[in-house]
Amino acid sequence: MTDHTVRTITAGERERLRTTRAEQPAAIAAAHAARRRRPLLRGDGRLFIVAADHPARGSLGVGHDAMAMADRDDMLDRLAVALSMPGVDGVLATADVIDDLALLGLLDDKIVVGSMNRGGLRDASFEMDDRFTGYDIAGIVRDRLDFAKTLLRINLDDPGSLATIEAHARAVSEAHAAGVPIMIEPFMTAWRDGTAVNDLTPDAAIRAMSIASGLGTSSAYTWLKLPVVDDMERVMAATTLPTLLLGGERAGDQDAVFASWEKALALPGVRGLTVGRTLLYPSDDDVRGAVATAARLVHRS
């Protein structure tokens, strides 16, 4: 691994963050206004985005630890390490996390992705009515963010999915009007013993992405965010839209996960990775090592 400076957050920075939030809330807007931006794609045209939007949906667990992401200081520490690593292009999160990172000065020269719909709370009876309770396109434009992201779970047995689909269509149209790239993470989902379970078969992935791709008045700014499933060659043959792969739940065999990513990253149309818990909370707790490996896979360095 190439030596470089890994960013850490000091006790003084933690104190200033909390003080600023309480006493100078306008500093958040100033931090966004001052952020040094970069082109969406550059160099090899690939993206490696670290995701941290799970807590806003009440999904705090990683592996066997149901509250792994509950400690905000710890999560910010892990994000600081990840964002300081070579090859990490940006971060995906809700406004609370992005505002923290902006105040800490961790977003310069990074792609910042705003997570939009977090209303489908994990294990809620209304989980499929996944309303847009995070960023909207106007807020993304206001804060000069670079990308929007949505989660589209389509449950054919739950009427709540219809409202979610309709909201996505509006968001895609609004993103097009504003010139904001928007990535949709689509799944066919079903209730199983009271739990919403995503279907990770190739046919289901193709069906979900086909529905997602047709939403809105234009697909000009639409990207897809897809799981790595079996027969990814056939899955990627179903779209011309630029696609990022998602990491999913942390698996026990990390080497096998990396191998599956490497194979899928070589497919036409795949532009990179958007990964959260697998890298921020790896099974060996080596954030730096996990992120470095993923960055090499994405940027083929």
Q: What was the pLDDT predicted at 248? A: 65
Residue with the larger pLDDT of the pair 236 and 284: 236
Terminal-residue alpha carbon distance, the chain: 11
pLDDT of 182 strictly over 60: yes
Count of domains for the chain: 1
pTM (2 decimals)? 0.94
188-213: average pLDDT:
96
CA distance 47 to 229: 20
Comparing 136-140, 176-180, 193-197, the range with the smallest average pLDDT is 193-197
> Is the predicted pLDDT of residue 247 greater than 90, yes or no?
no
**Adjacent-strand bridge partners of 246:** 227, 274
Q: Which domain holds residue 201?
A: 44-299
In a domain, 32, yes or no: no
Does 30 reside within a domain? no
Q: Read off the pLDDT of residues 72-84 as tens digits, 9 standing for 90 and up.
A: 999 999 999 999 9
Nearest to 262 by CA among 235, 292, 228, 226: 228
In a domain, 18, yes or no: no
Q: What is the SS3 assignment for 231-287?
A: CHHHHHCCCCCCEEEECCCCCCCHHHHHHHHHHHHCCCCEEEEEECHHHHCCCCCCH
Give domain status of residue 134, yes or no: yes
Residue 123 lies inside a defined structural domain of this protein: yes
Q: Does a structural domain hold residue 8?
A: no
DSSP string, the chain: ----PPP---HHHHHHHHHHHHH-THHHHHHHHHPPP--SS-TTT-EEEEE--SGGGT---BTTBTTTT--HHHHHHHHHHHHTSTT--EEEE-HHHHHHHHHTT--TTSEEEEE----S-TT-TTTTS----S--HHHHHHTT-SEEEEEEEE-TT-THHHHHHHHHHHHHHHHHHHT--EEEEEEEEEEETTEEEE--SHHHHHHHHHHHHT-SS--TTEEEEEE--TTHHHHHTT--S-EEEE--S--S-HHHHHHHHHHHHTSTTEEEEEE-HHHHS-TT--HHHHHHHHHHHHHT-
pLDDT for 252 beyond 70 = no
- CATH at residue 258: 3.20.20.70
For the chain, what percent of residues have pLDDT higher than 70?
Answer: 97
Indicate the pLDDT class of residue 249, thresholds 50, 70 and 90: low
Residue 6 in any domain: the answer is no
Residue 173 lies in a domain: yes
pLDDT tens, 122-143? 888 888 888 899 999 999 999 9
The CA distance from 202 to 198, in Å, is: 12
**pLDDT exceeds cutoff 50 at 1:** no
| Residue 57 reports pLDDT greater than 90 | no
Q: Is pLDDT at 286 greater than 70 in this prediction?
A: yes
Answer for the pair 208, 243: CB distance below 8 angstroms, yes or no: no
State the pLDDT confidence band at 4, using cuts at 50, 70 and 90: low
Mean pLDDT of 200-206: 97
